[in-house]
Structure 1
Amino acid sequence: MIDTGDDAPDFTVPLANGDVESFTLSDRLDEAPIVLAFFPAAFTNTCTTEMCTFRDRLASFEDVGGTVYGVSVDLPYTLNEFRERNDLNFGLLSDERRELIEAYGVIDRWEPRDIRVAKRAVFVVDADGRITYAWVGDTPKQEPDYEAVHGAAVDAA
């Protein structure tokens, strides 16, 4: 797993922001601190609660120049529907090829069909592309400490 102080693995994935665009982390470092909030699956209870909590707290991240992105293995079209239904005011990154969950070391396997999804995890990336905060949940229903994430974003600003 990637940890605090490590260089953030660079990546390019689809960005669901109402449209579907390309997102490359290294091209977005001017938006730092960047919060990458990994979640297992759109439209599930805890994931909806988590993304809506980030929605409700987005202004506090923007106040320090930060940006929040949700990350899941869902297709970008599913993520756009999830954004619309939950009035999410930030972009969602589609790791449909499961490259990010592998690079960041946050793969969870749902049995019995061995479906690979993201563990619930949060990483804060600073303007130099370094991880300044890393948290991975112990269970799929465990939510992050939102105050700690905000504090890390403030420190990385």
Structure 2
Amino acid sequence: MVDVGDDAPDFTAPLVSDDIGPFTFSERDGDGPAVLAFFPGAFTSVCTAEMNAFQSDLAAFDDVGATVYGISVDTPFGLQEFKAQNDLGFGLVSDTNKEIIDAYGVTMDFADFGYYGVAKRAVFVVDADGEITYKWASDDPGAEPDYEEVKQAAADAA
């Protein structure tokens, strides 16, 4: 797993914002920090609560110039519907090829269900220079990050 002080792995994947289009992380708009919020699956209770918590705090991230991205292995079309149903004001990245979760080292399995290769719940804050300044990850899919700590990390990286 990547760690604080590492360069954030770059990636190109579909981004669901107003539309669906290609997105390369190193070419993102803005010069502030990025918050990468990995989640196991759209439309599940904890993931929905987590993305809605980021939505509730979106103004605090905007105030420090931070951009939030949710990342899962769900399809772009599933994420588009998830974004619409939850009225999310930030982009969702579709990692169907599982390259991003592999690069960040946040892959987990639900072996009991025969489902392999989903995103572990994890949050990384990346500063404008592309360095990881904050990391939180949990092996418990029911755990949620400390949102106040994430907001502070984004402010510190600004």
Please give the TM-score of this superposition, normalised by the length of structure 1.
0.97
Size of the aligned set, in residue pairs, is 157
Shift of 1:31: 4.2
Note if 1:8 corresponds to 2:14.
no
The 3-state SS of whatever aligns with 1:61 is helix
Letter in 2 for 1:136: A
What's 1:129 paired with? 130
Percent of paired sites with the same residue: 59
Give the Cα separation in 2 of the matches to 1:47 and 1:32. 25
What's 2:86 paired with? 86
Letter in 2 for 1:88: L
Give the Cα separation in 2 of the matches to 1:30 and 1:3. 23
What's 2:22 paired with? 22
Letter in 1 for 2:119: A
| Residues 24-103 of structure 1 aligned to structure 2 (within 5 Å) | 24-28=24-28, 30-103=30-103
Shift of 1:9: 0.2
Change in 2 beyond 3 A, CA 1:28/1:50? same
Residues 46 and 142 of structure 2 are in contact (CA less than 8 Å); yes or no, is this contact kept in structure 1?
yes
Shift of 1:32: 2.4
Residues 32 and 64 of structure 2 are in contact (CA less than 8 Å); yes or no, is this contact kept in structure 1?
no
Structure 2: which 5+ residue stretches go unaligned?
none
Give the Cα separation in 2 of the matches to 1:21 and 1:151. 30
Residues 29 and 129 of structure 1 are in contact (CA less than 8 Å); yes or no, is this contact kept in structure 2?
no
Change in 2 beyond 3 A, CA 1:96/1:86? same
CA RMSD of aligned residues (A): 1.0
What's 1:107 paired with? 107
The 3-state SS of whatever aligns with 1:9 is coil
The 3-state SS of whatever aligns with 2:28 is helix
Give the Cα separation in 2 of the matches to 1:98 and 1:31. 27
Please give the TM-score of this superposition, normalised by the length of structure 2.
0.96
The 3-state SS of whatever aligns with 1:30 is coil
Give the Cα separation in 1 of the matches to 2:40 and 2:24. 21
Shift of 1:19: 1.2
Shift of 1:18: 3.1
